[in-house]
């Protein structure tokens, strides 16, 4: 292998790895925020999960955000749900409490919204939210938690930062993988192994992003750990194989 081709292969792996690391930022932020939220206000706990709770992944220090949760009456009679919401307020031990009554007819669904601001962020970094739906026989109590990362970046919104970071990550991974495949045709041996590892890493980033957006923090933690291990494996494998040529 000549030095020019080796340099291009090294560059392709570096570009791809940069894309993976950049892609880990959005879903890593989502997982971290949701993980911290599970430890916030443990007094509000239910028998089941409130899976309809949705939070922004991140916000900037100059914008407000909206947290939503949908509630459905699955009974054959009218009910009035009681919902208690705790939102951090500048410190992990301080919180705002919002109590809501929600009357619903049989089969009816309504969505509640709560506005959060950077002033709610604990230590100026994370807004922590805990929503409890109290039991209404025979329906169990349900609890949902989520965390929102506050970033101090001007001109962009949190959603724009998330989307831009993810887009650059996907582009970097595509360029890096494209360079690698182009310089290793026909794919075989170590070249094919690294290509498969790249595909696994790209899949991990996408899966982690989806898990983070859906609030599946436990799955996100597992994917994050696997991604870190894969990054170390691919770089070590690549450097070892190319160093022996």
pLDDT in tens, 110-120: 999 999 999 99
Buried b / exposed e across 154-177, counting CB within 10 Å, b at 16+?
A: eeebbeebbeebbeebbebbebbb
> What is the DSSP code string of 76-92?
SS-EEEEEEEEEE-SST
What pLDDT digit, counting tens, does each position of 171-226 carry?
999 999 898 888 777 777 767 877 888 888 889 888 988 888 887 878 888 888 88
- Which of 141, 139, 151, 153 shows the shortest CA–CA distance to 57? 151
Using the predicted structure, report yes or no on whether residue 34 has a pLDDT greater than 80: yes
3-class DSSP assignment, residue 8: helix
In angstroms, the CA 49 to CA 112 distance is 17
pLDDT class of 147 with cuts at 50, 70, 90: very high
What is the average pLDDT score of the chain?
86
- Give the per-residue pLDDT at 44: 63
> What is residue 60's predicted lDDT score, i.e. its pLDDT?
93
């Amino acid at each position: 292998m000549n030095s020019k081709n080796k340099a291009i292969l090294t560059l392709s792996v570096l570009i791809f790895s940069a894309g993976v690391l950049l892609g880990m930022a959005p879903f890593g932020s989502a997982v971290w925020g949701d993980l911290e939220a599970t430890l916030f206000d443990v007094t509000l706990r239910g028998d089941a999960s409130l899976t309809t709770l949705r939070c922004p992944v991140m916000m900037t220090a100059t914008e407000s955000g909206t947290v939503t949760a949908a509630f459905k009456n699955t009974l054959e009679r009218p009910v009035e749900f009681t919902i208690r919401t705790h939102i951090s307020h500048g410190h992990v031990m301080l919180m705002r409490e919002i109590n809501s009554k929600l009357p619903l007819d049989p089969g009816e669904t309504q969505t509640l919204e709560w506005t959060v601001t950077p002033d709610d962020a604990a230590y100026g970094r994370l807004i922590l939210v805990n929503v409890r739906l109290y039991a209404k026989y025979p329906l169990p109590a349900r609890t949902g938690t989520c965390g929102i990362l506050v970033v101090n970046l001007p001109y962009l919104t949190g959603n724009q930062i998330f989307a831009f970071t993810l887009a650059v990550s996907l582009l970097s991974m595509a360029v890096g993988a494209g360079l690698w495949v182009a310089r290793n045709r026909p794919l075989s041996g170590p070249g094919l192994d690294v290509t498969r590892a790249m595909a696994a890493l790209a899949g991990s980033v996408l899966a982690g992003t989806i898990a983070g957006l859906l609030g599946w923090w436990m799955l996100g933690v597992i994917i994050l750990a696997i991604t870190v291990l894969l990054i170390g494996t691919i770089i070590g494998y690549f450097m070892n194989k190319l160093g022996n040529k």
